[in-house]
Amino acid sequence: MTHPTASPVTVLKVGGARLGARTDLDRLADRILTLHRAGQQAIVVHGGGPEISDLHDRLDIPFEKVAGLRATSEQGMEATAMVLCGSVRTRIVERFTARGLDCLGVSGVDLGLLRAPFADRAALGRVGGPPEVDVERLRALLALDLTLVLSPVSIGPDGGAVNVNADDAAHAIATALGAASLDFVSDVPGVRVSEGRVARRLDPSAIGELVRNRTVRGGMVPKLRAATAAVRAGVERVRIGDLASMATDRATVITGQEAMS
């Protein structure tokens, strides 16, 4: 039995840096309320990197980075799940509910919504690659007319939990649902391509050049790669920016086609 969604879906990926302050969560809730008034549903895919790092330190769990990725041990996976499926998700749902949203907190493990292969079992441990989405079950939840708050912790090939990058999870969900929009909510108004200048539109060739010459680096790189994959897979609109730039249509828009010369 299929469960078609009654309205277009916007997927919002929110990083851990935007999830600590009540004011940021209230602004995010207000953005979703605006989407609802426009006849759209919303799925919030969240990260929690800073709090995961803090819990590792407090519990004295060692970790290492391999090619910029945090390797996740069995103990580290437990800590990651504690943060993403516990404190962070609960905080988001709490503030959304207080703001008047009907929302449900889930993870990729719940109902088997997200299943991911190991990215590199030997080098990275319990880090998952881009996940597969159980679209029918996700649509069944959307049919309840709830805002979904989704942790990217997913089911790995051995049946245990794996740590999936939230950008990859958001891209996979938006692509599987044929979302109307995929918004990567950041703490900057868009992708900065020079001092003080934010790009209004970027195509794959421009993104490749920005990564190669290290104009963009760090957490912006996986966002750009996921954004490019999403538009190429048919997501109607993909943007990177903060809530203010998205509300005023000044965020960076990622296009799937190379610019004409």
Six-digit token pair at 192? 């900065």
Q: Residue 192 — φ and ψ, nearest 5°? A: -80, 125
Span 240-250, average pLDDT? 89
Whether the CB-CB separation of 253 and 239 falls below 8 Å is answered with yes
What residues contact 71, with CB distance under 8 A and at least 6 apart?
63, 64, 65, 123, 124, 125, 127
Class of domain 9-185: alpha beta
Over the stretch 76-123, which tens digit does the pLDDT of each residue have? 999 999 999 999 999 999 999 999 999 999 999 999 999 999 999 999
Domain limits, the chain: 9-185, 187-261
The span from the CA of 99 to the CA of 66, in Å, is: 40
What residues contact 68, with CB distance under 8 A and at least 6 apart?
none
DSSP-based three-state secondary structure for 192: strand
The span from the CA of 191 to the CA of 245, in Å, is: 11
Whether the CB-CB separation of 97 and 165 falls below 8 Å is answered with no
- Name the most confidently modeled range: 68-82, 132-146, 191-205: 132-146
Rounded to 10 deg, the angle between the 166-177 and 135-142 helix axes is 80
Please give the biggest Cα pair distance in the chain. Answer: 54
pLDDT at 6: 52
pLDDT band at 261 (very low <50, low <70, confident <90, very high): very low
Closest CA to 127 of 55, 60, 54, 76: 76
Over the stretch 152-189, which tens digit does the pLDDT of each residue have? 999 999 999 999 999 999 999 999 999 999 999 988 89
Q: How many CB atoms lie within 10 A of CB 246?
A: 22
State the amino acid at position 99 in one-letter form: R
Q: How many CB atoms lie within 10 A of CB 54?
A: 13
DSSP-based three-state secondary structure for 164: strand
Q: How many CB atoms lie within 10 A of CB 99?
A: 16
> What is the percent of the chain with per-residue pLDDT over 70, rounded to a whole number?
93
